[in-house]
Amino acid sequence: MRWDRVAADMSAHSSDSASLEFGVLGTAGIADTAVVPAIAASDHAVGAVASRDADRAAAFAARHSIPRSYDSYEALLDDDALDAVYVPLPNGLHAEWTKRAADAGLDVLCEKPLAADAAETRDVVDHCERRGVTLMEAFMYRYHPRTERAVELAATALDDVRTVTATFRFPLYDRPNDVRLDPELAGGSLMDVGCYPVSLARALLGVPDRAYAHAGDTRDAGVDTELAGVLAYDDGRSARVASGFDTRHVERYRVDATNGWVEVENAFDAPADERLELRYEVDGRNGVETFPAVDQYRLQVEHFADRVAADETPLTDGAAAVENMRVLDALAESAATDAPVDL
């Protein structure tokens, strides 16, 4: 594939899917800085935003030139002009508002993780299937061309992938009231950023047979602020995953096989304005591939809209969300019990 054509392909993306009008449930930072600008840069639009604080919703709408703002999520779901909803609420609220959006007949792009545990995730997925709406979990990194290339290399160039090592940590200091530290809202580093390494490991190796984990809570918040885990497979393959709020920012993964490896830095929340690299060795040949600056959030939005238009299953669909959450549940249980957990 010619990666230097990706940016041109993005700008040429116009008629593959009908334009969607999104509603946004909440004014979270990820919506403000990434997803709403990505929708605005695409062939789609944000028609409304809601917050439980009317002034906050109005300010957000003014900042992004959104025509309508509401002081309740219920009011937004009653907006007949909307086609779809983006849900960037705290993790513990994803399930309720995804189901309520589905009840309103709206297709749903929901931030990861889709729900608080695997059972709740299955319930959300089944509910959306019954309502006949498209449901997609917002794992934006899966839509970056570099990730697609890494997955392709692992599948076609590497022989017998044996290990995956993946980490996502960043410092969450001096913010004791951050929702990511709230156990009632399904907070913790595993749920917030550990889901990315788990997603990658599962994409490359499949669902593990058992999980081991150790976690720490340095804030006495009732959630993990550091977690290290091992995903084990009966054939001897393994993945090592790590997440945290207590160290400097690091995002990376490495895939090791019998005939080579793949390495990626700035792996998950890739900057939209920088060229990125992927390094590898295959059969003794070393390579570096460079990818042009692209907005993976926009690619995510376009994928969602295309799947809605075609009535097809997204890459990061409900079934994938359930499998990812099963692994997250097993890691959390292992950390709590200090024992391996079978899946």
Tell me whether residue 99 is one of the annotated catalytic residues.
no
Q: Retrieve residue 132's tokens.
A: 């006949």
Of 145, 115, 147, the C-alpha closest to 128 is 115
> How much is the pTM?
0.94
Q: What is the pLDDT of residue 15?
A: 41
Structural contact between residues 111 and 139, judged by C-beta atoms closer than 8 angstroms = no
Query: Identical fold at 3-139 and 141-342?
Result: no
User: Where does 3-139 sit in CATH, by number?
Assistant: 3.40.50.720
Of the residues 44, 99, 112, 122, which is catalytic? 112
User: Where does 141-342 sit in CATH, by number?
Assistant: 3.30.360.10
Distance CA(21)–CA(36), nearest Å, equals: 12
Structural contact between residues 292 and 5, judged by C-beta atoms closer than 8 angstroms = no
Decide the pairing of beta strands 21-25 and 84-87.
parallel
Give the total residue count for the chain.
Answer: 343
Q: What is the pLDDT tens value at each position of the chain, 343 positions in all?
A: 334 434 444 444 444 568 999 999 999 999 999 999 999 999 999 999 999 999 999 999 999 999 999 999 999 999 999 999 999 999 999 999 999 999 999 999 999 999 999 999 999 999 999 999 999 999 999 999 999 999 999 999 999 999 999 999 999 998 889 999 999 999 999 999 999 999 999 999 999 999 999 999 999 999 999 999 999 999 999 999 999 999 999 999 999 999 999 999 999 999 999 999 999 999 999 999 999 999 999 999 999 999 999 999 999 999 999 999 999 999 999 999 999 999 9
What are the structural domain ranges in the chain? 3-139, 141-342
- Secondary structure of the chain in HEC code, one letter for each residue: CCHHHHHHHHHHCCCCCCCCEEEEECCCHHHHHHHHHHHHHCCCEEEEEECCCHHHHHHHHHHHCCCEEECCHHHHHCCCCCCEEEECCCHHHHHHHHHHHHHCCCEEEEECCCCCCHHHHHHHHHHHHHHCCCEEEECHHHHCHHHHHHHHHHHHCCCCEEEEEEEEECCCCCCCCCHHHCHHHCCCHHHHHHHHHHHHHHHHHCCCCEEEEEEECCCCCCCCCEEEEEEECCCCCEEEEEEECCCCCEEEEEEEECCEEEEEECCCCCCCCCCEEEEEEECCEEEEEEECCCCHHHHHHHHHHHHHHHCCCCCCCHHHHHHHHHHHHHHHHHHHHCCCEEC
